[in-house]
Structures are given as C-alpha cells and as structure tokens.
Amino acid sequence: MSDVHAQTVPFVRKSMLPEAEPPARQRGVPLWLRENLFSGWFNTILTILGAAAAIWLVASILPWMLRGVWNADSLRECRDIVIERYGEGVTGACWAMIRERWPQYIFGMYPQDIFWRPTLAFVLLLVAIAPVLYLSLPRKLLIFSALYPALAYWLLWGGTIWLPVMVLVGFALGWGALRLVLPRFGAIVATAVAVLVPVLWWGLLAGDAAQDLQGLVPLALRPVGSAAFGGFLLSFVLGVTGVSLSLPLGLLLSLGRRSDLPLIHYLCVGFIEFIRGVPLITLLFTASLLLNYFLPPNSDFDIILRVIIMVTLFAAAYIAEVIRGALAALPRGQYEAADALGLDYWKAQRLIILPQALKISIPGIVSTFIGLFKDTTLVVFIGLRDPLKGVTDMIRQTTAWKGIYWEPYIFVGALFFVICFSMSRYAMYLERKLERGH
Amino acid sequence: MTDQALHPDAPADAALHGDPAKMQISDEVAIRIAGMNKWYGSFHVLRDIDLTVHRGERIVICGPSGSGKSTLIRCINRLEEHQSGDIIVDGTELNSDLKNVDKIRSEVGMCFQHFNLFPHLTILENCTLAPIWVRKTPRKEAEETAMHFLRKVKIPEQADKYPGQLSGGQQQRVAIARSLCMRPRIMLFDEPTSALDPEMIKEVLDTMIELAEEGMTMLCVTHEMGFAQAVANRVIFMDQGQIVEQNEPHEFFRNPRSERTKLFLSQILGH
C-alpha cells in the first residue's frame, strides 16, 4: 500500500498534452440529435410523432397550394383549369383571386386613379419611422417624422393642405407658450397654458384660418371620405397611429399609477382597470354607436378618428401595465442615486428611470403592439372593411368569386404574419443593441 | 487594518494617510442637526439626534446593524424624511420646501453601498449627467471635469465602458467621481465598502483617504476601523437610534467609555 502511495502521489508532468477533439458521438450533429431529439424513449416517441404530423400536414397542404391557378377570371374557371390539368376530383388553390383583387386588399374602396397617394404615404411612412427605429440615423430626420402625420393625413384624406398645417401651428403655439410661460410661472401653470392655447386655437380659429389661407393660396387634393378606406390601408392607419399614440399615453398612465398624488393615482388606476376590464369590441361599438348620442346632432366626427381613439386607449392601458412592471423591477437605488444627485422628478424619470424601464419592457410593449395591429381587423364589426373579413366578404359577394374560402385567409394571414414577425424581430434587434454587458 | 486597530498606539501610516490632527477644520458649521427624530410607522429609528459637523471635519459613524446610522446620513440629503427636529445643511434648512431639498442635494454628494451607477449610461455619461442637467454646465466642460475626477480615482481609461463591465471596486470609485463632479461641499458615504471583496476595499479606501486629505467634509458610515483611525476627526457610535458615544478616534478605540461601545468594539476587532 505504501509503495503504491509513494509511486502515485508525488507527480510531475514531463510533457503537456495537446488539445484533443471530443469523441465522434460527443460532438457535432450526432450530439445535437441525441441531446435534442432522442434523449430518451419518451422523447424519441415524441420526435417521431412530431415529425410524422409535420410531414402529414405539409403533404396534404403543399400539393393543393402548388396546384394553384394564377391566371383565371373566376372561381369556376380556376376549378376547370385544375381539373383539366390534374384530372377529375383533384383540388387546387385559386390564387387568381388575389392576383385580380389585391388592390382591394391593400386599398379597400379607395379611388383607383389616386392609389399613388396612399402608396406615397406608405413610402414616406418608412422614411418617417426609420430614425425612430434606428438610433444611428441622423437625429435631424426626426423633424420629418414629426411633420409626417400632417402630411400623411393630407395625402390620405385630401382636402386643403391648410387644415393639417393649422393643426401643426397649434402644436407650435403650445410649444411657444410653454417656453414663454415656464421660466416665469413654473411647471404647472406652463403645462396648463401649453394645453389650453392649442386647444383654443384648434377649436376657435384653426378652421377659419385654414379656409382663409385656402382662399389666398389654393392648395388642395381631391377629398376622400373615411368610408372609402379599407384593407391593409385601414389596418395601417389604425395600427400605426394607435401604436405611436398609445406608447406615450401608456407611459404617462404608468407614471400616474405610481404617483404619490391620490387624485392622479386613482384616476389612472380607474382608467386602466376599466379599459382592461371591457372587450375591445365594446369600445368599438361605443365609438361607432354610443358616441353619437353624446355628440351634438349633425356633428361630423370621423369614424376612423373615433376608432383610433378607442384602439389607442385600449393599447395604452395594457402598455401602462407592462411599463409599470418594469418600473417596479428597477432597483430602488436607481431612484435614490438620481435623487441624491439633485435631479428633479421629471429629469430622473426621463434620464434614468424610463430608459431602463422601457428597455426591460420591450418584449411586453411589442406584444401589445402586435396585438393592437391584429385587433384592427375587429373594426369589421362596426362596418369598416378590414382586410381579413371586410374585404374578403366584399369580394365573395361578386359572382366571379362566390364560394372562395381558404385563399383569402391564407393571403391575409401571410401578410399579417410578415408584418408582426418583423415587429418581433425588430424588438429582438433592439434588445440586443441596448444590452449593456451585465 | 485590524492590526492597527488592535494596537491603537501604533502610528498611522503617515506617509500615505497624513496625520489627521494636522488637517484643517474650520469653525464654520457645515451641518447642524438638533433634536431630530424619525419614525418608520410606529418604530422610533432615530431618537433625539444632536450633531454639529464643522467644515472640513471627517466623521465616521459605526454601530450594529439596525442602529439607525444609515438612516441618519440619509436624512441629511432627504432620502429619508425626518419627522421632528431641525437639519440645517450649509445654512439651508431641510424642510418640505422642494427648492431647499434640491439645493441641498446638489451640494451634498452621496456614495451608496451598492454604488447605484446608472447601468444604461457609460462611465463618462454617469459622471456628466447631473452637472449637465442640474447645474446646466456645457457638455464639453462637464466632460473635462468628469475626466479630471476619473483620473483622480485612477480609472480614466474606463470612461467609455458601461458600469456592468467594471469590477465592484472600480464601480465604487466611479460613484465617488460621479459625486465629485457636482463639486459637493459635503460627502456622505453609506457603507461604501460593505459590498466589496477584500482586495477592492483598499482601492476604494485609498480614494476616500485622498479625498479626506484635501479637506472634504465627510460623513462616513463604515466598519473599516483602520480608515477611521487614519482619517477621522471623530468617531460616532450609534445604537438603537441614538448616539451612544463620540470621541476622537484615538480615545474612542483606546478608551471606550460606554459598556455598549466596549462590547461592539470587542466584537468587530476581536478576531
């Protein structure tokens, strides 16, 4: 025993071992397969069942899709072509409907000769959101982003350009009033004045001013009513406006819910809980039907505007809760450090708390946005032509495409998927970009 | 460090630390706390605190956990609100007037146990944020000041990194630099080394000692008794929300008078 000990315990290595590869079974594809697909009898069975289900699904759908007909004028013609090509009893998709009717899916009943207007508005939308999404782009581009809503409104709805310009002037007046009053009378008075001045401007003067200016410099596009909007144009108008308005509103609500001032706190709690407590459909019906009872008779309050307000309020309540969760997750020390450095409440929120809270809440916020975008299809219930059912029903009512079923849903579903998936990928990109190594 | 504390007669490392007695203390009052009380609900955390701190004084506050020492210094910049008594910092009374609170906070620097750097900002941005947004210093000037203090705490090369990429000791030194960038007249330290590895404690203490040598008025809650011996003019021992004993460090360690202090010292130095 002691001999063995004497030989084994003292040890000096004479040469260092070279690095070696793990055995074949422990690396590369075999390892991955074994760890992920066949790591036990139960998982092996699941893998086989899963693979079989996937193969069966693809095998039953793919041929139908590939047999699809792209050139035809009616569903009847589609079916004849499939039978002619593949024989009696075989079915195939009829993509020809999409080929013929896609302008309606994109633009709804928007007048055909001015499709360039929504198209231009869409292209400019990409320009306007680029600096918002990508922080590396020059910040000066944000000026265009700020002007874009007015420009898009003018392009889409037409009419005189002076109306959106006068609305912008209202914002400028508010800003000017804030700068003028803030140093003299403090934050509360300044905020009140900054809200009151533009509201008075819009309510009393803006309309007349726009008319007078239109008389002086006539610059107008053919007006298009909200009833003509439909398809993805409608979804985008509702979705983009809802997203861009609900984030700031949700932010304020989340801060309000954490406020020490009881009035603000309970207002925000009440609002959030009410909105989250009722289905979106209820709010949409309220927008389309009930509001009319409260508005003065004959007042023309645009239906799309009403829906935008409801969708925004709905999403804002959810976003408020997502952000509140992130605010609660921030260590108390962050608030204390901001306080100790002498930052006031708004500066601390803006510079320290919200940048961190928003980063934490990116996944939740984007989920809410995706939900909001998909929920825009619910406007079909108040008579607007959403792409999924509104436009599809409209097309099915024509004799040529009566009876078509799967194709429109697949098409619209695919487009929704592309848009929502892009949002989710962007969120992942943003999270990675904001990662700060801890 | 323990060694020095065990033998209070041994001279402090004079070359490095200087002689506390020679540092200038003026007659000017920096902080006056009189008859201050604080409750958490019905729990009486601070009881009748009287404390006057002169400009240039360096005070170490020690005591068992829950004795109210952190709460005391957190009251000085109103991270905690006191319910009765007066706190006057640099001639400004700390009351519910937010202007006074902001004024005091911008003149009193504070370092926390967990550093509380802003993780989404670079080291440089951490240091320039308050000067730019509170003091309205031009960015360029704020950055120069920040680099000056980062050099002082010996980590100018980390300026463009994020706090998460630094060690604990480095983060605490950044936190000190961040406070100094506001040119505070008083510095508060709330257990600045308690969350650090032994190796990193020294680098932070060296920075604090250097600060003390320049005549900064400091209130420091710490258990680093070596630090207390090296730089403090006064050591305050707190227990159950009260100041139990205070003395200059030499006497405090050699001749503690209260039984409670004796017990505390024997516990923290006795191993």
What's residue A183's pLDDT?
82
Residues in chain A: 438
Contact B163, B118 (CB under 8 A): yes
Q: Which helix (H) or strand (E) is A63 found in, with range?
A: helix A41-66
Which chain B residues touch A344 with a CB distance below 8 Å?
98, 102
What's residue B113's pLDDT?
93
Contact B85, B33 (CB under 8 A): yes
Please state the rounded mean pLDDT for residues A8-20: 84
Please state the rounded mean pLDDT for residues A341-352: 92
Contact between A436 and B116 using a beta-carbon 8 Å cutoff? no
- For chain A, list residues whose CB is within 8 angstroms of any CB belonging to chain B: 331, 333-334, 336-337, 339-344, 347, 351-352, 355-356, 359, 434, 436-438
What's residue B6's pLDDT?
41
What's residue A311's pLDDT?
92
Contact between A438 and B129 using a beta-carbon 8 Å cutoff? no
Residue A412 has pLDDT above 90, yes or no: yes
Tokens linked to A229: 């909007």
CB atoms within 10 A of CB B167: 15
Mutate to test the interface with A, among B101, B114, B116 (most CBs of A within 10 A): B116
CB atoms within 10 A of CB B39: 14
Please state the rounded mean pLDDT for residues B223-250: 91
Mutate to test the interface with A, among B105, B117, B161, B191 (most CBs of A within 10 A): B105
Task: Describe the strand order of the beta sheet including B108-111 as a list of residue ranges.
Answer: B108-111, B186-190, B217-221, B58-62, B234-239, B242-247
What's residue A111's pLDDT?
92
Contact between A333 and B79 using a beta-carbon 8 Å cutoff? no
What's residue B9's pLDDT?
42
Of A334, A336, A347, the CB nearest to B133: A347
Contact between A352 and B118 using a beta-carbon 8 Å cutoff? yes
pLDDT-based confidence at residue B270 (cuts at 50, 70, 90): low
Chain segment A294-304, per-residue pLDDT in tens:
777 766 778 89
Contact between B162 and A343 using a beta-carbon 8 Å cutoff? no
Question: How far off is chain A from B263, nearest CA to CA, in Å?
Answer: 32
Of B98, B102, B116, the CB nearest to A333: B116
pLDDT-based confidence at residue B2 (cuts at 50, 70, 90): very low
What's residue A3's pLDDT?
60
Contact between B114 and A333 using a beta-carbon 8 Å cutoff? yes
Provide the whole-model pTM: 0.83
Question: How far off is chain A from B19, nearest CA to CA, in Å?
Answer: 31
pLDDT-based confidence at residue A1 (cuts at 50, 70, 90): low
Alpha-carbon span B54 to B89, nearest angstrom? 11
Which one has a higher pLDDT value, A47 or A294?
A47
Query: Nearest chain A Cα to B125, which residue?
Result: A351
- For chain B, list residues whose CB is within 8 angstroms of any CB belonging to chain A: 77-79, 98, 102, 105-106, 108-110, 112, 114-120, 129-130, 133-134, 162-165, 178-179, 182
Tokens linked to A111: 């007048």
* DSSP at A23: P
Contact B36, B196 (CB under 8 A): no
Question: How far off is chain B from A245, nearest CA to CA, in Å?
Answer: 25
Residues forming a β-bridge with B88 = B32, B93
Query: Nearest chain A Cα to B134, which residue?
Result: A343
Contact between B120 and A351 using a beta-carbon 8 Å cutoff? no
Of A333, A339, A343, the CB nearest to B133: A343
Which chain A residues touch B78 with a CB distance below 8 Å?
339
What's residue A22's pLDDT?
81
Which chain B residues touch A356 with a CB distance below 8 Å?
118-120
Residue B32 has pLDDT above 80, yes or no: yes
Query: Nearest chain B Cα to A357, which residue?
Result: B120
- Which CATH architecture best describes the domain B25-269? 3-Layer(aba) Sandwich (3.40)
Alpha-carbon span A14 to A330, nearest angstrom? 54
What's residue B168's pLDDT?
92
- What are the structural domains of chain A? 40-95 (no CATH), 159-221 (no CATH), 227-333+360-406 (1.10.3720.10)
Question: How far off is chain B from A14, nearest CA to CA, in Å?
Answer: 35
**CB pairs below 8 Å between A and B: how many?**
73
Chain segment A105-159, per-residue pLDDT in tens:
999 999 999 999 999 999 999 999 999 888 888 889 999 999 999 999 999 999 8
pLDDT-based confidence at residue B12 (cuts at 50, 70, 90): very low
Question: How far off is chain B from A69, nearest CA to CA, in Å?
Answer: 54
Residue A226 has pLDDT above 50, yes or no: yes
Of A336, A437, A438, the CB nearest to B116: A336
**What are the angstrom distances between the C-alpha of A175 and each of A144, A149, A150, A180, A421?**
17, 17, 17, 9, 37
Tokens linked to A269: 């709690």
Residue B14 has pLDDT above 50, yes or no: no
Mutate to test the interface with A, among B80, B100, B120, B161 (most CBs of A within 10 A): B120
Please state the rounded mean pLDDT for residues B30-40: 93
What's residue A438's pLDDT?
54
Alpha-carbon span B202 to A154, nearest angstrom? 66
Contact between A355 and B120 using a beta-carbon 8 Å cutoff? yes
Question: How far off is chain B from A407, nearest CA to CA, in Å?
Answer: 48
What's residue B146's pLDDT?
96
Task: Describe the strand order of the beta sheet including B84-89 as a list of residue ranges.
Answer: B43-54, B29-40, B84-89, B92-93
Which chain A residues touch B179 with a CB distance below 8 Å?
340-341
Which chain A residues touch B134 with a CB distance below 8 Å?
341-343, 347
Rg (CA), chain B: 18
- What does the mean pLDDT of chain B come to? 88
pLDDT-based confidence at residue A421 (cuts at 50, 70, 90): very high
Mutate to test the interface with B, among A341, A347, A350, A359 (most CBs of B within 10 A): A341
Please state the rounded mean pLDDT for residues B180-190: 94
Of A339, A343, A359, the CB nearest to B120: A359
Contact B69, B235 (CB under 8 A): no
What's residue B23's pLDDT?
55
Please state the rounded mean pLDDT for residues A34-51: 89
What's residue A48's pLDDT?
93
Chain segment B122-174, per-residue pLDDT in tens:
999 999 999 999 999 999 999 999 999 999 999 999 999 999 999 999 999 99
Which ranges in A201-288 belong to alpha helices (H)? 207-216, 231-257, 262-277, 280-285
Of A333, A342, A356, the CB nearest to B102: A342
Which residue shows structure tokens 């130095």?
B269
Phi and psi angles of residue A39, each rounded to the nearest 5 degrees, phi first:
-85, 10
What's residue B4's pLDDT?
42
SS (H, E, C) chain B: CHHHHHCCCCCCCHHHHCCHHHCCCCCCEEEEEEEEEEEECCEEEEEEEEEEEECCCEEEEECCCCCCHHHHHHHHCCCCCCCEEEEEECCEECCCCHHHHHHHHHHEEEECCCCCCCCCCCHHHHHHHHHHHCCCCCHHHHHHHHHHHHHHCCCHHHCCCCHHHCCHHHHHHHHHHHHHCCCCCEEEEECCCCCCCHHHHHHHHHHHHHHHHCCCEEEEECCCHHHHHHHCCEEEEEECCEEEEEECHHHHHHCCCCHHHHHHHHHHHCC
Contact between B79 and A351 using a beta-carbon 8 Å cutoff? no
- What does the mean pLDDT of chain A come to? 89
Positive or negative, the Cα torsion across A317, A321, A323, A324?
positive
Q: Is A221 helix (H, G, I), strand (E, B) or coil?
A: strand
* DSSP at A379: G
Residue B112 has pLDDT above 60, yes or no: yes
Of B112, B116, B164, the CB nearest to A436: B164
Contact B5, B60 (CB under 8 A): no
Contact between A333 and B77 using a beta-carbon 8 Å cutoff? no
Which one has a higher pLDDT value, B18 or A35?
A35
Chain segment A233-245, per-residue pLDDT in tens:
999 999 999 999 9
CB atoms within 10 A of CB A144: 14
What's residue A237's pLDDT?
94
Question: How far off is chain B from A342, nearest CA to CA, in Å?
Answer: 5
